[in-house]
């Protein structure tokens, strides 16, 4: 049984947050792509850091972490309702997210509303390339379906890859992501695969990225939180989970 209504609320940590990451989190779904070392981790962690300044009643996380490195720091906070690193776990996590969507649609039908009135769930895939090269047949239809119907249920997909090749970002994936972040790429074609235009190949190695929304493309300086900021907030939330 999925508990859709989590009444427990916390007085969450205060702090200065970057509006860029906040805006990215408000998109229905988000694709983040760039070459190795281009700053993808900075963007992903920045978005998550903004999300967890609110309590788990507002934002919950389903984390798919094939490399077992980038997202494991968040698996012990109360926002994390599923953490998956092994191949079978990844498919289970996507199915779990799909079950949440379907349960929320049933709740919306009972209430006679077209938009779910409750918290948000973020399905964060750290390395899409790993899933698309090893489990494409299993995960592609699940990711497509989540993107297609998750919006009204407040279930969002944030997919990241350091391998922005056409076979990793096929049309059936990209068409579901109106919002995308393009970081430095190895060549102009990789930039086209992400944003439909060139430019990412001319970005500096760190610190800048293009942000595509339905309104257009903007170039941004990508902000970065300090290790001390992460440690403070994560320790606070981990302690809350321990006493919950």
Q: Tell me the CATH number at 110.
A: 3.40.50.300
Angle at 162 between CA 65 and CA 80, to 5 degrees: 25
State the pLDDT at residue 2: 47
State the pLDDT at residue 1: 40
pTM attached to this predicted model = 0.93
Report DSSP state, residue 66: T
State the pLDDT at residue 206: 85
State the pLDDT at residue 70: 84
Which pLDDT tens digit goes with each residue over 87-107? 999 999 999 999 999 999 999
Closest CA to 162 of 47, 69, 40: 40
For residue 210, what are the β-bridge partners? Answer: 182, 219
DSSP reduced 3-state for 229: helix
Q: Is residue 238 part of a domain?
A: no
Question: Contact 214/178 with Cβ under 8 angstroms?
Answer: yes
Q: Is residue 175 part of a domain?
A: yes
Q: Is residue 51 part of a domain?
A: yes
- Provide the residue range defining the domain that includes 180: 19-219
Q: Is residue 180 part of a domain?
A: yes
State the pLDDT at residue 69: 82
State the pLDDT at residue 8: 64
Q: Is residue 134 part of a domain?
A: yes
State the pLDDT at residue 7: 55
Report DSSP state, residue 12: P
- Please give the tally of structural domains in the chain: 1
Closest CA to 162 of 196, 123, 133: 133
Which residues of the chain register pLDDT less than 70?
1-9, 241-244
Q: Is residue 224 part of a domain?
A: no
Which pLDDT tens digit goes with each residue over 98-151? 999 999 999 999 999 999 999 999 999 999 999 999 999 999 999 999 999 999
Q: Rounded CA gap, 185 and 192, in Å? A: 10
Closest CA to 169 of 153, 156, 185: 185
Q: Is residue 117 part of a domain?
A: yes
Q: Is residue 229 part of a domain?
A: no
């Amino acid at each position: 049984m999925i508990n859709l209504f989590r009444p427990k609320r916390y007085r969450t940590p205060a702090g200065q947050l970057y509006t860029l990451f906040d805006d990215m989190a408000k998109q229905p779904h988000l694709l983040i792509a760039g070459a190795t070392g281009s700053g993808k981790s900075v963007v992903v962690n920045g978005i998550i850091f903004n999300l967890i300044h609110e309590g788990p009643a507002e934002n919950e996380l389903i984390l798919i972490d094939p490399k077992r490195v980038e997202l494991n720091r968040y698996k012990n906070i109360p926002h994390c309702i599923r953490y998956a690193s092994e191949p079978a776990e990844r498919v289970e996590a996507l199915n779990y997210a799909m079950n949440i969507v379907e349960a929320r649609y049933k709740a919306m039908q009972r209430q006679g509303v077209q938009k779910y009135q409750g918290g948000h769930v973020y399905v964060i895939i750290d390395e899409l390339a790993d899933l698309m090269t090893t489990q494409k047949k299993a995960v592609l239809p699940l990711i497509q379906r989540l993107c297609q119907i998750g919006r009204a249920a407040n279930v969002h997909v944030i997919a990241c890859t350091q391998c922005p090749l056409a076979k990793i970002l096929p049309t059936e994936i990209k068409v579901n992501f109106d919002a995308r972040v393009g970081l430095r790429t190895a060549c102009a074609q990789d930039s086209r695969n992400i944003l439909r235009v060139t430019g990412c190949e001319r970005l500096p190695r760190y610190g800048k990225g293009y942000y595509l929304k339905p309104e257009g493309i903007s170039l941004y300086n990508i902000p970065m939180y300090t290790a001390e900021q992460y440690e403070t907030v994560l320790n606070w939330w981990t302690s809350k989970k321990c006493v919950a």
